[in-house]
Structure 1
């Protein structure tokens, strides 16, 4: 609670000084779902419109519950992908980020760090564009150059807004 209070105070101060809208994604990831919900409730109570969850470290089931809670409480859920590289960077074992993206879309969330084709989290351009398609499009046509191996129709399943992450700046 104290950290959240400090952050919200800083946001309000920055808005007052600049006249601009400011924000921060309060991270509610916790060791237990019960603590996660306490943090989410407190974030809502102090006026945060968006909270953040690390869906891999927090767990997919916990993420689904939190996504449902956010919908019921009028809050946005930003998804962080902490620990993904442990699973998706080794070409010999693990889970490809394309699969982790699909799991997230099924689990729920409003936006996800998608990686970029420049910056500190730079990745393969075509693969990155492929999982961005998976996040946001209702129908994805097979495109093996982007790692899409078959047509995929998500029907009424909500999309996830891809968010550029890691070292993006004007010189790119």
Structure 2
């Protein structure tokens, strides 16, 4: 029988074997006591199964508040599997199974879902990315190198007209990609309909004059029926990239957009720290990105190297790679998406960002790293392209800057960040 396997880092005062048994029972056939209809045959067919246990250490105190106590708290890794017959290939119930009530179990003083092995049968009912990196680049007429992008700043407060003027400046500077901030969707001061109309007038005119197509990711995050109407609005004005805050709308909301959308879907993970910041509870990006890709996201944010956020650079690197890795453990479509680096990014981080992936199939978003260039935003875009070219050709950025003014000025303007350890294999 086909099975789904989840990997957890757990801690338990009763030992990790008991902790894993608690997860397996709670998340399949068991309850707090025996019930007549939970027969041996039913458990054999539908029960979760502990596949592997590895003890990694002990502590004299619990990592999290826990009603069950003990003299020591054993920590380790548990791999637990479920028959796919329990939930089929629908993502919401899969999520409720591998990441449901188990986070509340008193037998666990820590529990974190770190990986999820999915069979290719999920491809039968889950569409995956419609564009990915290749389709995204083709949509703007083909593209060499990473997409250089920026974010509308300030995050909120601009009128549709002011937004359009900033877009005009960025488009004329040679930008590839612009996105709404996650805080700006359909607020009264900047309604989505007015913003789309104003911005697309600028971008459509820019394309007519130059032949260059710029991607603008409009934040359509809302109730499902309104997001569908927002897709119609984008189509009416010639826009082709909705942005969705994936944690806010959930898997069903993202899937609903994918089912109605002929466009690439830009997935923003606003709220990510809720799942990632603690080593003792949560869900890893390796798990979430698989589910978001299955539901249809073409682009996924992964933070940036040496960014303003708390994630270590090795975690950012792992997240970026995971978006380009196959979803399934047994073949099937790869459903490759496009990682999006952002947050305090400048010319200094683009070479390591490229080295992490070994390719240019990513979006590199910089706000101040473009708009703060002393020679203007055009030079800011040029400097980032020059830094990307240096990375592609294996030339140190400081040596490349000797013959490229925009890059040299950017190096003098932006302080070189201290990068953490980034394993490249």
Task: Please tell me the TM-score bracket, short chain as reference.
Answer: 0.7 to 0.9
CA distance in structure 2 between the partners assigned to 1:65 and 1:103 by the alignment: 14
| 2:220 alignment partner, one of 8, 22, 28 | 28
CA distance in structure 1 between the partners assigned to 2:212 and 2:290 by the alignment: 35
Corresponding residue of 2:257: 66
Contact 1:4 1:43 (8 Å CA) reproduced: yes
CA distance in structure 2 between the partners assigned to 1:109 and 1:154 by the alignment: 20
TM score, norm. by length of structure 2: 0.34
- Bigger CA radius of gyration: 2
Give the C-alpha shift of residue 25 in structure 1: 0.4
CA distance in structure 1 between the partners assigned to 2:237 and 2:331 by the alignment: 35
CA distance in structure 2 between the partners assigned to 1:27 and 1:154 by the alignment: 34
Tell me whether 1:49 sits opposite 2:240 in the alignment: yes
CA distance in structure 2 between the partners assigned to 1:139 and 1:63 by the alignment: 17
CA distance in structure 2 between the partners assigned to 1:139 and 1:42 by the alignment: 32
Gaps of 5+ in 2: 1-192, 350-425
CA distance in structure 2 between the partners assigned to 1:112 and 1:26 by the alignment: 15
| 1:7 alignment partner, one of 187, 193, 199 | 199
Corresponding residue of 1:87: 275
Other structure's SS at 1:94 match: strand
Other structure's SS at 1:67 match: helix
| 2:345 alignment partner, one of 156, 168, 171 | 168
Other structure's SS at 2:231 match: helix
Superposition RMSD on alpha carbons, in Å?
A: 2.5
Corresponding residue of 1:159: 336
- Deviating beyond 6 angstroms after TM superposition, the runs of 4 or more aligned structure 1 residues are 16-19
For each residue in 1:101-134, what CA deviation from the matched residue of structure 2 results, as whole angstroms up to 9, or x when unmatched?
1221222111111222223346323322322232
Contact 2:327 2:335 (8 Å CA) reproduced: no
Corresponding residue of 2:318: 130
Gaps of 5+ in 1: 141-151
Other structure's SS at 1:120 match: coil
For each residue in 1:34-92, what CA deviation from the matched residue of structure 2 results, as whole angstroms up to 9, or x when unmatched?
0011011111111012111111101111101212222xx2x111111111112221223
Given the superposition, is the C-alpha separation of residues 14 and 118 from structure 1 closer, same or farther in structure 2, using an over 3 Å criterion?
Answer: farther
Give the C-alpha shift of residue 19 in structure 1: 7.0
TM score, norm. by length of structure 1: 0.77
Structure with greater strand percent: 2
Given the superposition, is the C-alpha separation of residues 119 and 153 from structure 1 closer, same or farther in structure 2, using an over 3 Å criterion?
Answer: farther
Corresponding residue of 2:230: 39
The aligned length equals: 157
Contact 2:204 2:238 (8 Å CA) reproduced: no
